[in-house]
Chain A
Amino acid sequence: MFGMFDIYLLEALLSGLLLGGVFALLALGLNLVFGVIDVVWICYAELIMLGMYGMYFLYVTYHLPFLLAALICIGGVGVLGVALHLLVIQPLLGTAPINQLLATGGVLFFLQSAATVLFGIDFRNLGIRLPVLDFAGMYISYARLLAFAAALAGMVALYLFLARSYTGAAIRAIAQDRQIMPLMGVDTRRIYLITSLIGGALAGLASCLLVLQYDVQPFVGLTFGPITFLICVLGGLGNMLGGFLAAFLFAEIISVSGLYLDQEWGYVFGFAVFVVLMFIRPQGLLARRS
């Protein structure tokens, strides 16, 4: 009896770890954009929704191989990120932050409505049934394992880019001192565009992974959008490492409390922990900005 209990807990912990990887990926894109451009993409999850539709049409309607569809999707949502920056963010950059929030919030409703008009409210999926792995008596979803591995690979690639390249150094630097960037010879507008491209591409990567676990519908963004914001705020908005830790913390809370209670209670519990932590550390787990 006790041994059975242990294996379930272990399974929940492992499942939380896998979920945390995807949460971390979601938080990373949002944090990157916020850290560099100082703008919150409220419509971030809706970019993912569009990416999921992209996957659906490329894979189901046009019969492209999954990997090719995924690459097109990552690039496509990256371009959407650039378009979002050029059309919505850039004209508002000098204005009060609330304007940018309202504008990207407006884009959220616009994209939801546009998707409803264009694609209807049907739930669609790729029709891929990935097996459930039986590993040492624990059941692990293959889709989640794949998502975890791909999310990790994406994050490592981004880390190397930020750590090793000149453009990556400029992206880190701009988050620390925006005004003097021209003195370094850096065109901040160009860095903003590159950051938007990467932020969009991360949303694109997330959409390829999430489409294996969730049905696509115009409001699917609500499933993970709020959680993503919460994780970013919990980690300290703009702090990539904080977001990374918060993602795993949050995923474990959901996963483990889902073991003892229902899955829905897992979310309730997670949000409750969030509220308490916000009282204790209002600036986020790893505070950076004063």
Chain B
Amino acid sequence: MLALTAIDAGYGSFQALFGVSLEVRLGEAVAVIGPNGAGKTTLMRVISGLIRPRCGQIVFDDADLLAVPAHRIVDLGIAHVPENRRLFPRMSVEDNLRMGAFTPRARARFHERRAFVFELFPRLQERRRQFAGTLSGGEQQMCAIGRALMSEPKMLLLDEPSAGLAPVIVQQVFALVERIRASGLTVLIVEQNVRQVLRVVDRAYLLEAGAIRSSGNAEELLASKAIHEAYLGV
């Protein structure tokens, strides 16, 4: 469904990704794990078009993403929940969801999509008139995911959904990721919370210093000695 081949990317003179290749198949949940500054967020931004790679290839559902302007990528079916949620803080929850449904295709189905999001997150319905900036961290994450779901995506990119949340809320977020998967969505998730994320995904890639170091099934990685020592802190 999504295939990256030999991606080099960076900011200005700084190169963050070196020849990254990665694949996500339809219906899969895949994680990208790795330390801070490994290039995980850059990878997500490259997929959603916020950053253009220097070389390499990205294909999504037979479409060459590099030939598509960034603002058209969401219409192809990729919704990106960015790092730190990036809600519009002085707009209501409802208006944030409206922005998620900006594309003409999603606009036509706004009410239907909103009902779906409110069913998934009843809390958002209660707070629909509140400014998004006044929500708690967990609610903001719900709102950010809800906003992404408004575009009726085929694939969801989640960048550090558990960052900055209290442990009990982190549990809820991962439970949520499982529910989203169950609804048939393909998920690519970037996480530092390695142990938890490996329990909800099928496969994972380990990204270090801008390059893929290893990859495999989630259970294998959970059991692997290297991962254990470096990321699970035994």
Contacts and interface: CB of A to CB of B under 8 A. Distances in A.
Given A173-B88, A183-B74, A184-B74, 16 more contacts: A169-B99, A176-B89, A177-B86, A181-B71, A182-B48, A182-B49, A182-B69, A183-B50, A183-B80, A184-B71, A184-B100, A184-B102, A185-B74, A185-B75, A185-B102, A185-B151
Nearest to B132: A176
A184 B86 CA distance: 11
B71 A172 contact: no
Interface string A155-194: 0000000000010011011001101111111111000000
B58 to A, nearest CB: 15
Interface residues of B, number: 29
A170 B80 CA distance: 17
A177 B103 CA distance: 18
Contacts, number: 64
Contacts of B98: 166, 169
Contacts of B69: 182, 187
Interface of B: 48-50, 69-75, 79-80, 82, 86, 88-91, 95, 98-103, 106-107, 147, 151
B99 A170 contact: yes
Contacts of A182: 48-50, 69-71, 73-74
Contacts of B95: 169, 172-173
Interface in A205-264: none
A61 to B, nearest CB: 44
A57 B97 CA distance: 47
Contact of B48 (A176, A183, A187): A183
A172 B50 contact: no
Interface residues of A, number: 17
Contacts of A177: 86, 88
Main secondary structure of the interface of A (DSSP, over half): helix
A158 to B, nearest CB: 17
B90 A176 contact: yes
24 contacts: A166-B98, A169-B98, A169-B99, A170-B99, A172-B88, A173-B88, A173-B91, A176-B88, A176-B89, A179-B50, A180-B50, A180-B82, A181-B71, A182-B48, A182-B70, A182-B73, A182-B74, A183-B79, A184-B71, A184-B147, A185-B103, A185-B151, A186-B71, A188-B71
Contacts of B99: 169-170, 173, 184, 186
- For the complex of A and B, 3 pairs with smallest distance between CB atoms: A182-B70, A185-B103, A185-B74
Nearest to A179: B50
Contacts of B82: 180, 183
Contacts of B71: 181-182, 184-188
Which of A169, A170, A172 has the largest count of B CB atoms less than 10 A from its CB? A169
A180 B86 contact: yes
A168 to B, nearest CB: 10
Contacts of B106: 185
Nearest to A190: B71
Nearest to A172: B91
B91 A169 contact: yes
Nearest to A182: B70
A181 to B, nearest CB: 7
A71 to B, nearest CB: 29
Contacts of A186: 71, 99, 102
Which of B88, B101, B151 has the largest count of A CB atoms less than 10 A from its CB? B88
Given A170-B102, A182-B49, A185-B71, A176 B91 contact: yes
Contacts of B91: 169, 172-173, 176
Which of A169, A173, A183, A186 has the largest count of B CB atoms less than 10 A from its CB? A183
Interface in A63-108: none
Contacts of B74: 182-185
A179 B70 CA distance: 11
